[in-house]
Amino acid sequence: MTTIQSQPERVLVIDKDTSRSALLEQALTDQGYEVICRLHDTEGLIARVEQIRPDIIIIELDSPDRDVLEHMATLNSHIPRPVVMFAESGDSQTIQKAIKAGVSAYVVDGMSPERIQSIMDVAAARFREFQALRNELNDVRSELEDRKQLEQAKRLIMKHQKCTEDQAYSAMRKMAMDQGKTMTQIAKNIISVLEMLS
């Protein structure tokens, strides 16, 4: 039996990362869902869930608050239950994808599997996208850090050996090739040794 949804599902997003949950809220709103609340601080979680009465809760997989939600669900049938409880064999791929992306969901009885799947797919995609952005940012950060160290090591050699920038750089290249190490490793060694001497 299919129920006609006259009202959009009410979604609660629980995520301590506010930029990620903002991204997810936008994506869900674009798809026609109503994000009624985003929680980044879960103090008094039980009272808030009882007051908000969401149809579906999207929560990061590793959140310790999942154990709180699961306990609530055993006590009160209005409280959303773990999505895996509703999984037909066909849905397990959606759930697996979501779990790999680090997201989990709790849903109330009577929500259509298609709607659950669609919300979870949106959430998983946003979590993945966010992770990719974060990785990219970390790469850029560490690249900047590497460059700073190379510069610092070069300046220290120039000061100690009273040589030109080109000579300092060639010396470092040679050390890296002779020792089979990366330029960053060599720069770190130089900094620690020369800073100790000065």
Partner 1 sequence: MTLIHSPTLDTPEKSDLTLGFLPLMDCAPLVIAKEKGFFSEAGLNVQLSREGSWASIRDKVMLGLLDGAQMLAGIPLASTLGLGSPKVPMVTAFSIGLNGNAITLSRELLAEIDELGHHPSDSSAAGLKQLIACRKASGRPKITLAMVYTYSAHSYLLRYWLSAAGINPDTDINLTVVPPPQMAVTMKKGLIDGYCAGEPWNSVAQEMGIGSPVISGYQIWNNCPDKVFAVLESWHDAHPATHQALICALIRASEWLDKPQNSDEALEILLGNAYLGPALSMLSQPKLKQGNRHFYRYAASYPWRSHALWFLKQMRQWQQLKEPQADLKQIACQVYRPDLYRSVADKMKISHPTIDFKPEGFHDDDWLLPGSAGVVTMGSDRFFDGGTFDPNQA
For partner 1, the binding residues (CB under 8 A) are 43-44, 46, 61-74, 82, 84-85, 87, 92, 95-96, 99-100, 104
- Residue 88 beta carbon to partner 1: minimum distance, rounded to whole angstroms: 11
Containing 140, the helix (H) or strand (E) segment is: helix 113-161
Return the bridge partners of 13, or none.
Answer: 38, 58
CB of 113 to partner 1, least distance (A): 15
Side chain identity, residue 160: H
Radius of gyration of the chain (CA): 26
User: Which CB sits closer to partner 1, 65 or 146?
Assistant: 65
Rounded to whole angstroms, the Cα distance separating 63 from 28 reads: 21
Looking at the Cβ atoms of 95 and 108, the one nearer to partner 1 is 95
Task: For residues 46 and 50, give the distance between their C-alpha atoms in angstroms, rounded to a whole number.
Answer: 6
For partner 1, the closer of residues 30 and 88 by Cβ is: 88
Tell me whether residue 40 or residue 173 sits nearer to partner 1 (CB atom). 40
Give strand pairing partners of 58.
13, 105
Least separation, in Å, of the C-beta of 142 and partner 1?
19
Q: How far is the CB of 97 from partner 1 (least distance, A)?
A: 10
Q: Which is nearer to partner 1, 3 or 51 (CB)?
A: 51
Strand order, beta sheet including 81-82:
34-39, 10-14, 56-60, 103-107, 81-82
Alpha carbon distance 70, 157 (integer Å): 60
Least distance to partner 1 from the beta carbon of 159, Å?
36
User: CA-to-CA distance for 10 and 88, rounded, in angstroms?
Assistant: 23
3-class SS at 177? helix
We find the least distance from the C-beta atom of residue 92 to partner 1, in angstroms, to be 8
The residue among 100 and 141 lying less far from partner 1, judged by its C-beta, is: 100
